[in-house]
Amino acid sequence: MNKNRVICQCSNVTLGEVVNFIKKNDIQTLSQLVSEMEVGDKCESCKYKGFEEDGFSLSKAFSRVKSGEL
Ligand code: FES
Protein backbone atom coordinates (compact mmCIF):
# COMPACT_ATOMS: atom_id res chain seq x y z
CA MET A 1 0.00 0.00 0.00
CA ASN A 2 1.40 3.38 -1.10
CA LYS A 3 1.62 5.69 1.91
CA ASN A 4 1.54 8.80 -0.28
CA ARG A 5 -1.75 7.85 -1.92
CA VAL A 6 -4.88 9.69 -0.79
CA ILE A 7 -7.11 7.15 0.96
CA CYS A 8 -9.99 9.46 1.92
CA GLN A 9 -10.76 11.77 -1.00
CA CYS A 10 -13.42 13.71 0.90
CA SER A 11 -10.98 14.68 3.65
CA ASN A 12 -7.88 14.69 1.38
CA VAL A 13 -5.98 12.39 3.75
CA THR A 14 -3.20 10.00 2.71
CA LEU A 15 -2.60 6.47 3.91
CA GLY A 16 0.58 7.65 5.63
CA GLU A 17 -1.36 10.24 7.61
CA VAL A 18 -3.88 7.59 8.66
CA VAL A 19 -1.14 5.18 9.75
CA ASN A 20 0.58 7.87 11.80
CA PHE A 21 -2.68 8.94 13.42
CA ILE A 22 -3.57 5.37 14.43
CA LYS A 23 -0.16 4.81 16.02
CA LYS A 24 0.22 8.20 17.67
CA ASN A 25 -3.27 8.16 19.20
CA ASP A 26 -3.40 4.42 19.95
CA ILE A 27 -6.63 4.05 17.97
CA GLN A 28 -8.36 0.76 18.82
CA THR A 29 -11.28 0.52 16.37
CA LEU A 30 -12.21 1.68 12.89
CA SER A 31 -15.11 3.71 14.26
CA GLN A 32 -12.76 5.43 16.71
CA LEU A 33 -10.50 6.33 13.77
CA VAL A 34 -13.45 7.72 11.81
CA SER A 35 -14.74 9.87 14.65
CA GLU A 36 -11.41 11.13 16.01
CA MET A 37 -9.58 11.75 12.72
CA GLU A 38 -12.73 12.81 10.85
CA VAL A 39 -11.99 10.56 7.86
CA GLY A 40 -14.45 8.22 6.18
CA ASP A 41 -17.38 10.14 7.57
CA LYS A 42 -18.63 11.88 4.41
CA CYS A 43 -19.39 9.64 1.40
CA GLU A 44 -18.03 6.65 3.39
CA SER A 45 -16.79 4.84 0.26
CA CYS A 46 -13.25 4.75 1.64
CA LYS A 47 -14.30 2.84 4.77
CA TYR A 48 -14.55 -0.65 3.31
CA LYS A 49 -14.41 -0.80 -0.49
CA GLY A 50 -12.03 2.10 -1.13
CA PHE A 51 -12.89 5.32 -2.95
CA GLU A 52 -11.87 3.75 -6.26
CA GLU A 53 -13.43 0.41 -5.29
CA ASP A 54 -10.07 -1.35 -5.35
CA GLY A 55 -9.83 -2.28 -1.68
CA PHE A 56 -7.58 0.65 -0.77
CA SER A 57 -9.67 1.31 2.30
CA LEU A 58 -9.54 2.53 5.87
CA SER A 59 -10.53 -0.90 7.18
CA LYS A 60 -7.65 -2.56 5.34
CA ALA A 61 -5.24 0.14 6.48
CA PHE A 62 -6.43 -0.25 10.06
CA SER A 63 -6.01 -4.03 10.10
CA ARG A 64 -2.55 -3.77 8.49
CA VAL A 65 -1.40 -1.33 11.16
CA LYS A 66 -2.73 -3.59 13.92
CA SER A 67 -1.03 -6.66 12.42
CA GLY A 68 2.25 -4.74 12.23
CA GLU A 69 2.40 -4.70 8.42
CA LEU A 70 2.23 -0.91 8.26
S1 FES B 1 -13.61 9.23 0.44
FE2 FES B 1 -13.56 9.08 2.58
S3 FES B 1 -15.49 9.82 3.21
FE4 FES B 1 -15.51 10.05 1.06
| Predicted confidence pLDDT, tens digits, the chain (70 residues) | 999 999 999 999 999 999 999 999 999 999 999 999 999 999 999 999 999 999 999 999 999 999 999 9
CA of 41 to the centre of ligand 1 (A): 6
From 8, 34, 37, 53, give the residue whose CB has the most ligand 1 atoms within 8 Å, as the site to mutate. Answer: 8
Whole-model pTM: value is: 0.96
For residue 70, the model assigns a pLDDT of 96
Residue 7 has a pLDDT of 98
The one-letter amino acid code at 41 reads D
Locate the domains of the chain by residue range: 6-66
Phi/psi of residue 14, nearest 5 degrees: -85, 165
